[in-house]
Structure 1
Amino acid sequence: MRSVLRPRRLAALLAAGVLVLGACGYDDTVVPSAEEEATAGGGGSGPSPVECDNPTQSYAPSDDRAAARAQLVNPGQLVVGVSADTLKLGSADPEDGFAIKGFDIDVAQAVADALGVTLRLRVISAAERIDLLGGDADGDGEAPEPQIDLVVRNMTMNCTRWSQIGFSAVYYNATQKVLVREDDVPAFEKDGLESLDGKRVCAPAGSTSIDNITEKQPDAVPVAAANHTGCLVKFQQGEVDAITGDDTVLAGLAAQDPYAVVPDQEKLTDEPYGVGANKDDVALIRFVNSVLEQRRSNGEWQRSYDRWLKPYLGDARPPAPSYGR
């Protein structure tokens, strides 16, 4: 039976407008403020970019449960860092005791079930992901003790992060796309990014999303918000005409606004999601990969995708894994 830690600061969070559709924090972790999310980066100037041949390549799968369980921070528990306010990936359901649900949560639950341990969800910010896994987020050569076993929080795999932590094989191939109003869908599907000429496009401040849209459509007017929730507020108030970001995040925004649509379009960038782990926990990573293999082959991945993301993003198939580390 899943163990989910109950909220201590729900009332304060709702009053502050931090969460959408009843999403809430669990455990003792404080859901970050808008200012914290806008500057999320792990502190300091961060490590220098690292190059590698294939950032999506992981370790070959293994079903050695004992070896994987031996690497857990707390025996008998799988502690997983997740989001609680990213609708359709990981968000609290106010109609079910604020249990956190979504595509990412299905992955975490599957790993815990296969390990035969209790799943403990810990709400974390994007900035905390590397540190809580025991990675050197600042690039200063000092890594803290790990506090969690895995991160399943729409985390893009890249070479720099591989120098800090380890990853599973890709469990979802996200892409950066654009969300527009329903009335603007025909023009966008006909002309693509050209239809955004002179239009106000929102993305989180300091994000690669806002940089990418500026590069690919310099005639658009970039508008920054603290996070994607802030972008949705601006969109609903008529302050912006479109929002850009990972398609998974846009799916959650579209689910909250009947006039918001993610049209058929060419991707702006690739954002391959992997399950993050401490770089020394290779046995655990191999076990996670065996679970991901099973979910691809037995239809669990497809059922989860169809439930959470297909209504907003259309058809998709499980990503092919790459091994060889």
Structure 2
Amino acid sequence: MRTKQLGVLASALALLLAGCGSPGAPVDPAPVGSVQPPTPANAVVETDVAADGGTEDECNVEASLPADGNIAAGSTMAEIRERGHLVAGVDQNTYLFGFRNPTTGQLEGFDIDIAKQVAEAIFGDPDAIRFRAISSAQRIPALQNGDVDIVVRTFSITCERRAEINFSTVYYVAGQRVLVNESSDAESISDLGGKRVCAAKSSTSLKNIAKVETKPVPVSVDDWSDCLVMLQQGQVDAVSTDDTILAGMAQQDPTTKIVGERFTDELYGIGIPKDDEDMVRFVNSVLETVRGGQWQQSYDRWLRERLGAAAPPKPLYQ
């Protein structure tokens, strides 16, 4: 009996020792190489950016209809008043001009302040307004389809755009520059020949990049915030657009810097449907009032620290 017990014990010990043996080299069931960060949706390397439909000599870009602040019965403004709110197409991704405050969830910025002044003039209440967040490419279609009453979204006035919609007088003058990482040696857009430079789809900035003699490679995205992400991820070498937009990016990411002088003048106007000439005159009247004080207050709050002193541009009428 004792011999049988010793045999069982020996067998158990042998099994235990076998279980403690080396399992051999581990097997990696799914080898993974280097992982690239995802590209923002709809980002495109542009090989053939369309030229402008016409030259700026074909129209007086700055001139708008004379101001008229009356709200007549049956006018566009009267219809908006009857509805109970103004509908404004704006940006929600451009820091300092049109962005959503992460703390309050409210839209804020220089353009938001301007849009609220139009609502104030119609209703006596700056908050009688509904914002519709749109991309650069959606600005003209939103007006043509009647989705919005106005567009206040860093909207540069061009002759090509004037053929499709109406514009107010110029309420802000910006200029295109370049944003790069602080380690970059580039000092202007000309130093980026053969390099990828990001801009928003349907923007004048994209076309201006394509015109540079050293041939930077334009990369288009839906929103300017996508450009900053691509720069941070090393997917583009620079972002080029209006200095107002770049100022917001540089404030969000201090590892970037704005370089070069302005190489364009971008005249911002409020976009209005083509047939609503009474609304154009009314908005121009609002801007006359805004230039008297509200413009400076808003500029000093949002932009002065980054862009220095400035004053509202004088209106030019047809």
| TM-score between the two structures when normalised by the length of structure 2 | 0.73
Q: Which residue of 2 aligns with 1:273?
A: 268
- Displacement after TM superposition at 1:313 (Å): 2.4
Contact 1:38 1:206 in 2 (8 A): no
2:32 aligns with none
Deviations 1:194-250 (A, max 9, x none): 55467653334675534433533516x435252433321232234444321122221
1:166 aligned residue: 166
Question: Match of 1:224, SS?
Answer: strand
Change (3 A) 1:79 1:206: closer
Q: Decide whether aligned partners of structure 1 residues 38 and 172 sit closer, same or farther in structure 2, where only a CA change above 3 A counts.
A: farther
* Residues in 2 aligned to 1:290 and 1:210: alpha-carbon distance in whole angstroms: 32
Could you tell me whether the CA contact under 8 Å between 1:73 and 1:147 is conserved in 2?
A: no
Find the residue that maps to 2:174 and give its secondary structure.
strand
Task: Summarize the Cα distance change of 1:208–1:60 in structure 2 as closer, same or farther, 3 Å threshold.
Answer: closer
Give unpaired runs (5+ residues) of structure 2: 1-37
How far apart are the structure 1 equivalents of 2:90 and 2:257? 26
Residue by residue, what CA displacement relative to the aligned partner does 1:80-130 show, whole Å, maximum 9, x if unpaired?
Answer: 11111122111111111x111111100010110111151111122333322
Which amino acid in 2 is paired with 1:284? M
Structure 2 counterpart of 1:297, which letter? G
- Match for residue 321 of structure 1 among 287, 293, 315: 315
Q: Name the counterpart of 1:109.
A: 116
Residue 252 of structure 2: aligned partner = 256
Would the aligned equivalents of 1:203 and 1:222 in 2 still touch at CA under 8 Å? no
Q: 1:285 aligns with which of 280, 304, 314?
A: 280
Say which of 127, 131, 136 aligns to 2:141: 131
Q: What's the TM-score, normalizing by structure 1? A: 0.72
Does structure 1 conserve the Cα–Cα contact (< 8 Å) formed by 2:195 and 2:237? yes
Is 1:231 the counterpart of 2:227? The answer is: yes
SS for the counterpart of 1:79 is strand
Identity of aligned residues (%): 43
SS at match of 2:298: helix
Residue 178 of structure 1, CA deviation: 0.8
Which residue matches 1:59?
Answer: 65
Aligned to 2:10: none
- Could you tell me how far 1:257 is from its partner in structure 2? 0.2
Computed over aligned residues only, the root mean square deviation of the Cα atoms, in angstroms, reads 3.2
Q: Judge conservation of contact 2:93–2:225 (CA < 8 Å) in 1.
A: no
Secondary structure in 2 aligned to 1:113? helix
**Structure 1: stretches of 5+ with no match in the other structure:** 1-16, 19-32, 40-44, 136-143
Structure with more of its chain in strand, by fraction: 1
Q: 1:181 to 1:152 in 2, by over 3 A?
A: same
Q: Which amino acid aligns with 2:232?
A: Q
Amino acid corresponding to residue 277 of structure 2 in structure 1: V
What does residue 309 of structure 1 align with?
A: 303
Give the SS at the match of 2:171.
strand
Aligned length: 270
Aligned to 1:27: none
> In the superposition, relative to structure 1, how do residues 193 and 159 fare at CA in structure 2: closer, same or farther (>3 Å)?
closer
Shift of 1:57: 0.8
For residues 178 and 217 of structure 1, the distance between their equivalents in structure 2, rounded to whole angstroms, comes to 16
1:120 maps to amino acid: R
Conserved 8 A contact 1:168-1:288: yes
Q: What code does the residue aligned with 1:243 have?
A: V
Tell me, in whole angstroms, the C-alpha distance in 1 between the residues paired with 2:138 and 2:82: 19
1:176 maps to 2:176: yes
